[in-house]
Structure 1
Amino acid sequence: GGLQRLDRQLPQGIARELIYTGRRFSSDEARRWNFVNGVHPDQEALLAAARQLAAEIAASPPLTVKHIKESLV
């Protein structure tokens, strides 16, 4: 779950501080730690970015995307 993701994706000290304290972190912190790919000012901008990413993926050859997904699991 979420704890394992924190521990794998964040520097150990930051991950453990968040896990032990339960402290919430901001979107700016998440971006600075490379925990998220992007931060958007509002829902409209988020949806536009998501649609753009989906279009880029959809433009790729389907079998290539399938094999990439399988190799990442």
Structure 2
Amino acid sequence: MARYKPDAYEMAALRSYAKEFGRRWKESLSLDWYNARLRVAPDMSNRGSILHGLRNNPDFGPSGLWDFRFPKEG
């Protein structure tokens, strides 16, 4: 089965969240998803809604978060 590749909006939301929460961002996001939290981003973007949608994606969801890696830039 092919892994789901987040689109540009989802990738931006993941990067923003990771930047805000640092090296343990996956653990923090997993807890947010488990508790159905929608955190407001510092820039007041709709990051929380985008990430919530990603959580509900059957091809990504909470289990896909742990396997996810940002693509190498360059």
TM band (smaller chain): under 0.3
Looking at CA atoms only, which structure, 1 or 2, has the larger radius of gyration? 1
Calculate the TM-score normalised by the size of structure 1: 0.26
Calculate the TM-score normalised by the size of structure 2: 0.26
Q: Which has the higher helix share?
A: 1
